[in-house]
Structure 1
């Protein structure tokens, strides 16, 4: 259950709830535009390099498959490095001034649990970094090489992402409506832009990929069942002759 440390003499900070005890808080040194620009530039390099490598390894791969590879590289990088950074540095996050630290502080205007070592958020992000990060890269590799294990692992990762995201929404909404704890600043763009939209992506895309993997698995088992029935039928005909 999510909790917020409270202290009557808490250090002033811009997060909600205002009584949250956020130890060692330092305001970001870089502007939001600088942070987002650096973040976006990093993605251009990472995804551009990935696409070039995939094109060299398997140039005939369909466009949708290449897009799926880019998704898993993107999500794997975020899980392993960005969320892993939080899991490792959670106790000192309010004072961090490197790129990831300032990005987390900016995001935390929509969810201050990242500034208070909230047990649920910390455990969820740790599991995400350890499990779904490496497995996302594995799925990208399997798609590139058209390996048959692609869909089982794609379904596993996508279901894990869905489950974690739903719990993330549910725990904060529970605290808001049943405990009166609001972790988001009142400005609408923090809620709709950061909290809702940036996390809803991990419901929409994993949901689509999970459906695709289930459909492909069902199709494969249907083909196997049909083949087995044909073989049994052919065997019966031969015996009759």
Structure 2
């Protein structure tokens, strides 16, 4: 038993040493990224496929929603398209990460390479970071289905649309705030930077791409609050009228 434990400890130490010595393009330079393999696809190809799929999903959602209910307003259609796109990203892209995080650095699948490319903007995705893993798992399990459910409720004009929209949007906003905050804390307090400084990596991948899940959920929370308040006010007025009669 002692020999087994000693051998296991030796192997772990060896793997850690090899990971530290391994050359990879991410920050910090000493990040432990086991079995990393460079992407086989070029950046333009990866981004073209990703944004192309997003565009197809957007257009398909628009026509399906219009077919379900031709009276949907442009605002409702845009919100439906947002929730369907967001839900699919949560379920498939982030769900993929939550499932294969331990071996992601070696993956050559489309989604695996997409995550390795994004990791230039946040290397925590390749270093088994506990916060990122837990946050992405919660997002995939709860907010992915929640987004799709909200989109369906808007199309069907379900009375629970605004309460569910608020819950899902609050979860998204809370997650992205913690995502930014933990990265900023590590950089300011611990001197650890996870993002490369190039515009594509820091500003586009890390800042802009995640900002959508800051601005849009914040607006949807506000919208849900206003509509819920209106509904409650109407009920209160009706009850007051009944009492008078």
> In 1, Cα distance between the equivalents of 2:17 and 2:99?
24
Matches within 5 A, 1:74-223: 74-223=85-234
User: For this pair of structures, how many residues does the alignment match?
Assistant: 230
Q: Contact 1:50–1:70 (CA<8 Å) still a contact in 2?
A: yes
> In 2, Cα distance between the equivalents of 1:53 and 1:197?
29
Is the counterpart of residue 51 in structure 1 residue 62 in structure 2?
A: yes
Q: Contact 1:16–1:109 (CA<8 Å) still a contact in 2?
A: yes
> In 2, Cα distance between the equivalents of 1:109 and 1:226?
55
Moved more, 90-99 or 181-190: 181-190
Of residues 24, 46, 50, the one that matches 1:35 is 46
**Alpha-carbon shift at residue 228 of structure 1 (Å):** 0.6
> In 2, Cα distance between the equivalents of 1:189 and 1:50?
29
Structure 1 residue matching 2:150: 3-state secondary structure: helix
RMSD: 1.3
Q: Contact 1:154–1:210 (CA<8 Å) still a contact in 2?
A: yes
**Alpha-carbon shift at residue 202 of structure 1 (Å):** 0.4
Partner of 1:19: 30
Q: Contact 1:6–1:19 (CA<8 Å) still a contact in 2?
A: no
**Alpha-carbon shift at residue 64 of structure 1 (Å):** 0.7
**Alpha-carbon shift at residue 186 of structure 1 (Å):** 2.4
> In 2, Cα distance between the equivalents of 1:213 and 1:182?
37
Partner of 1:238: none
Structure 1 residue matching 2:115: 3-state secondary structure: helix
Q: Of Structure 1 and Structure 2, which has the larger fraction of its residues in helix? A: 2
**Alpha-carbon shift at residue 117 of structure 1 (Å):** 1.0
**Alpha-carbon shift at residue 46 of structure 1 (Å):** 1.7
Using the size of structure 1 for normalisation, the TM-score is 0.93
**Alpha-carbon shift at residue 6 of structure 1 (Å):** 6.9
* Structure 2 residue runs without a partner (length 5+): 1-14
Structure 1 residue matching 2:21: 3-state secondary structure: coil
